[in-house]
Amino acid sequence: MFSKSLILITISALVISFAKAYDPSPLQDFCVAINDLKNGDFVNGKFCKDPKQVKAEDFFYSGLNRAGNTNNKVRSNVTTVNVDQIPGLNTMGISLVRIDYAPYGQNPPHTHPRGTEILVLVEGTLYVGFVSSNQDKNRLFAKVLNPGDVFVFPIGMIHFQVNIGKTPAVAFAGLSSQNAGVITVANTVFGSVPPINPEILAQAFQLDANVVKDLEAKFAPKN
């Protein structure tokens, strides 16, 4: 198990690394998020709580010491700590995730449309990478990470992590947005609502239309 001190050092490093974040800079000390229009104004996507009503709990979250459930098809779990979990993150341009990987599990190819990600591995061994844009000829930048190693995934780039070890892996990552968003490639392309016409995807991916139909059936959202 990783030590509490290592977790604190990791999180501190991630926070400091985002002194300049992707989201607009705040124009006040804080803008604690609320969902009630009657009690505040619309700022950076969230209403602001009256500063006189702000409490320490608005800046607090507990639970990143607990492993996420990796009993799923990709054998990984992402525990997100963004503005939805910590209202005090509103307008701060930063958030955090814990990622748990079962042996040979993966965080499949995805992208964050609103944030750069910096990941530090705490336990296990990961193979990670991202692919650059068409203009850069879709180059793959990949490394094998060991505990203590850090890797950056630039904003908008499709990226992934795979546990190549026989034991569970744990990583923490900071993102340069209070809500960086996530677009998982396979789920987005083959699981859209309503589905994309299979003939379109067949041509785009150079696949038989029946293969596309099978993939759409597999990734279709479950009710």
Orientation of helix 198-205 relative to helix 209-219, angle to 10°: 110
Cis peptide before 194 (omega within 30 of 0): yes
| C-alpha of 196 from chain center | 25
| Torsion-angle region of 200 (φ positive above 0: left; ψ -120 to 50: alpha; else: beta) | alpha
Binding residues for oxalate: 107, 112, 117
Binding residues for Mn(2+): 110, 112, 117, 159
Closest CA to 101 of 69, 57, 147: 69
Distance between the two ends of the chain, CA-based, in angstroms? 37
- Burial of residue 161 (CB within 10 Å: 0-12, 13-18, 19+) is buried
Binding residues: 107, 110, 112, 117, 159
- Helix (H), strand (E) counts: the chain: 4, 13
Residue 186, CA atoms < 13 Å, CB-side half-sphere = 13
In 116-208, which ranges are continuous DSSP H helix? Answer: 185-190, 198-205
